[in-house]
Structure 1
């Protein structure tokens, strides 16, 4: 059930979405349309809350067109940085190339998706809170005090998440809460810092959510106190409030299983989704009728091309720069000085004629073990699909010779986990925050507060876990590289430690949507991407076009979608 009252300014609506609460709360489609009066009961409130959760997968309805709003943030978070290219070919979704090249105009049609979807999430949270207030003040059946507090905390946690995604990209956004009428909401300007309101939501979530891994109503995918603590810490991190963030991260780390005993690959295996490492996870399911609007619609373009088991569409190709960042030296440590670019590994890029047919992967290169679990390359086993072949890449000169691994699923798991006739539309979950991310955010805070030994301990835990990975094999059944990884023996200075932590974030969380946002909050995006394009243009045509170099940092924000500026009629101010 969805009720929408669209307002011209930015789709402010009063809505509630009802889903069946069977084995998982995304297993059924919305049913019918009800009025607000009909929803003013305990079942209506629970259903409205389920609808608020439903936006976590970045989709309001349908499947196609939700690429920019996907919770993986592959387009803004990775293509907009130095980790990946748009992929496919130059003409397909060409405005994505403008994001890659940082020539983003307010009319870019990838911007409205983020705005519409996550404001829809905000409105669903607000509507849940409004309905709850009506029910608790009414004469009918009411929630227990405990459940009412949990519902409030869940809705405010989700609202904080949706606002964070909006503020992180656009910075200057209007803040609307459950106390505002639609008419008043339409008058709200985007001239105030919304981080204090997001902070209040996360603090309320911490106060009202259960801990010790328990979930309201016993349903997988519900938020808990540790998700709220981790998210509040992340919010503080973005504000450089390291001393405030550190105890929150530390508490989450101490209450969760040791990272070194958890599986890296379990995060990207559909059979083990919702495992112990997931802190905040966007749920995805294939509907009972085989349709996919509750699936991972944001990542659907990232299936491999041609006659690959995925069958579409060849987007999101890792950069040559990211590939080479996985190189390690004789000491098993990464090349923090950037010398990984010396004599770069480019697979079969640039070869022609017989050289393409005669190409053999160089198995003597020394790589971090996470490399081939993150990036697919020719003649190396790609999940259980078989060794990657050139036909699985749509336009290799344009997008490069590499493909992403984490977003797809094993072919053996297709039954029940892919949409009818669309193997590229899967039930793969998306980790918005996972435990190793918390370790590295904590390590970053420790570095900035000069607790270098503690930072080293957390970074080394991430690297120790990676050392447990099995070798990935080539088409001839031998290890595809010399896999090597070591822990840091010391952090001799704060600058060294800072570089090590930032580099580790790139490796551990590669292609998971963090990179652009990390670079912007660090204030390094201009220098990093200028250097990156000067390197990458030598190997991949997508990077050979001179970018505008107008990189916005998070304090300025991406352009507000022009359609919202036009509808606001002077209420909203465009970012400069």
Structure 2
């Protein structure tokens, strides 16, 4: 396969045969081909699959794309109040700076994010360019299929640009009409968001209703509608976003779609999937098409996984799952009163005698999102506490669940000997996300009853989760009830925002939500004050105006010979 190392300063094009569904993720290189040889149906389709290949944020190999993971756990969760980097203080200190919101332009995770997603953009651009040449010269692709290919490419390109825009905000626009020489000098002083919307609009108008070839990883009109709605939502354009969300939701009843199925490799292609990064273990057992972006979240120590101990839920997140006597969440941080800490800070003797307090009222989604001592963890057995934690006094006593697979699934869905590299898909958009975005729109458009109905659908589904038990004993007072009313817009807004946190925790949304809601400074600084009572290193975080986005990688500025301008606050 011809490899094109495309970054924004050099603008070559990528060609890969990694695909978008598990059945055709397992492609092997077919040798070097000239450009003339790929101006045909087979070559264009192969380039398109290569464009899909960057959905997992991985250009090559099985290391080095944590920052570009489709789950966006580093920027979307660790930078927020939901999670800590975890692991140890000295392990990847560049992540520590992102968590503390003091990144510098030389941070390796910034350049990895930039390069991975501009590679994805390049593959989309190359697909469109080859398609145009085929239609003008060879015409081996039908007109109908040509429109679909362009729509798929532009939907993927919109996604890649949107991921970059959320992190860096001020980015250069490069499309299929940009030459390599032009790309070197394109500045980042123009708003690219209208172009992103235009790509998504084209996709809505031209993608088919059904998945092409029945492959779940493909873009279709439903995916495009959800994504375009999300783009409008980030602009606070609720009137345009809501109809799209309603079309995606249709008559679907989420209460019958098990929450846990979204995070199980055997049930991941369920009805809740709107857009996913498809992952698979290659036939030879290698994992470059696997979920390598989340591999560092592997459960550490004596656990069946044995590595790597990153992406640990925060005390604040865990306590947010407490509910009041009515089975409703605490919307004003009352959950911080008498916080639940598991066995954190106890003496060795106290830990030896530790017993789970089953009287605490918890939303059951807690124990399907967070691993805590004394509670069954997937099929690994009861989580023992410190023995599965890399460094408790650094990352806290909790571990994530959503990125892990069952031990019984290791043989066919994990790299041999490396069970933290799995074939588990990552949901980029799922139906619950769409429903809660619709609820948000309803609040802002004044339909509080409509918003409540959407939120209650999510809560009714949560109430069906099987309680976690040990020897027949239920390990918490699990309760989650629907709201009886949304008395005013402020209450409704807070309820929707809390529901997004509880439902989508550890899935990469939180930091970006806080930024677009305009509450990120107060939230992060309050969180820092609370969390540092137990993990002092996280104290004193100050959220500055520029902290809503991250610096342009210095290496990219250098490659552009100064054409790219550093973001304000990082100069």
**TM-score, scaled relative to structure 2:** 0.97
Q: Deviation at 1:186?
A: 1.6
From 362, 370, 373, the counterpart of 2:357: 362
How far apart, in 1, do the equivalents of 2:374 and 2:363 lie?
18
Of 517, 531, 536, the residue aligned with 2:531 is: 536
* Structure 1: distance between partners of 2:10 and 2:430: 31
| SS class of match (1:270) | coil
CA–CA distance in structure 2, aligned partners of residues 528 and 441 of structure 1: 20
SS of equivalent to 1:415: helix
Runs of at least 5 residues in structure 1 that lack an aligned partner in the other structure: none
Provide the C-alpha distance between the structure 2 equivalents of 1:283 and 1:563, rounded to a whole number of angstroms: 30
After superposition, the Cα gap between the structure-2 partners of 1:65 and 1:551, relative to the gap in structure 1 and judged at 3 Å, is farther
Describe the shift of the 1:465–1:522 C-alpha distance in structure 2 as closer, same or farther (beyond 3 A).
Answer: same
1:19-46 CA-partner distances (Å, limit 9, x unpaired): 4899622122434322211111100000
Alignment counterpart, residue 147 of structure 1, candidates 145, 148, 152: 145
Q: CA–CA distance in 1 between the matches of 2:370 and 2:2?
A: 40
Partner of 2:567: 575
Alignment of 1:405 onto 2:401: yes
Show the counterpart of 2:171.
Answer: 173
Change (3 A) 1:328 1:551: farther
Q: Does 1:381 align with 2:380?
A: no
Q: For residues 4 and 370 of structure 1, what CA distance do their matches in structure 2 show? A: 44
Unaligned runs of 5+ in 2: none
Whether the 8 Å CA contact 1:559–1:574 is kept in 2: the answer is yes
* Counterpart mapping for 1:201-350 below 5 A: 201-211=199-209, 214-254=210-250, 257-350=252-345
2:497: which partner in 1?
502
Distance 1:331 1:20 in 2: 47
8 Å CA contact retained: 1:29, 1:287: no
Helix, strand or coil for the counterpart of 2:434?
A: helix
Q: What secondary structure, in the 3-state scheme, does the structure 2 residue paired with 1:305 have?
A: coil
Structure 1 residue 306, shift from structure 2 partner: 1.3
Q: Distance in 1 between matches of 2:69 and 2:20?
A: 23
Give the alignment partner of residue 524 of structure 1, picking from 519, 527, 536.
519
Mapped to 2, the partners of 1:519 and 1:440 lie a distance apart of 15
1:262-296 residue CA offsets vs partner (Å, 9 max, x unmatched): 11111001001121101010011000000000000
Distance 1:20 1:437, change over 3 A: closer
Distance in 1 (alpha carbons) for counterparts of 2:143 and 2:112: 37
Question: Aligned match of 2:479 in 466, 479, 484?
Answer: 484
Q: Given the superposition, is the C-alpha separation of residues 356 and 22 from structure 1 closer, same or farther in structure 2, using an over 3 Å criterion?
A: closer
Change (3 A) 1:384 1:541: farther
Alignment CA distance shift 1:142-1:394 (3 Å): same
What is the TM-score of this pair, normalised by structure 1? 0.96
The 8 Å contact of residues 10 and 184 in structure 2, kept in 1 or not, is answered as no
Distance 1:276 1:379 in 2: 32
* Per-residue deviation, residues 526-559 of structure 1 (Å, max 9, x unmatched): 1001100100001124424x334336355xx310
CA RMSD of aligned residues (A): 1.4
Structure 1 residues 20 and 317, CA gap change in structure 2 (3 angstroms): closer
8 Å CA contact 1:59, 1:297 repeated in 2: yes
Deviates more, 1:293-302 or 1:303-312: 303-312
Q: Is residue 419 from structure 1 mapped to residue 418 from structure 2 by the alignment?
A: no
Partner Cα distance (2:392, 2:444) in 1: 41
CA contact (8 A) 1:89 1:398 kept: yes
